[in-house]
Amino acid sequence: MPVETGIDIIKNLSEYISICGHAVPTYVIDVPSGGGEIPINPEYVISIDDEKMVLKNYVGKVYTYSNVAS
């Protein structure tokens, strides 16, 4: 499933959950090569296209993640 599907799920959930956000889950991607889990939000997403996402982790290291449905 494309990453955009997960982003849409989180957006739709946040419309139905308390404005305080206590129950809103965080959508993360576990990037390869030891990059850890990166939250999918504006601070960490550099770019998204039909084939790949470019993400940075909390220390600023950049990773490319496939956005192609498997």
* pLDDT at residue 31 tops 90: no
Q: Output the CA–CA distances (angstroms, integers) from residue 20 to 15, 17, 23, 58, in the order listed.
A: 11, 8, 8, 24
Model pLDDT for residues 54-63, shown as the tens digit of each residue = 999 888 899 9
SS3 content of the chain, % helix, strand, coil (to 5): 20, 30, 50
pLDDT band at residue 69 using 50, 70 and 90 as cut-offs: low
What is the span of the domain harbouring residue 36?
3-66
Overall number of domains in the chain = 1
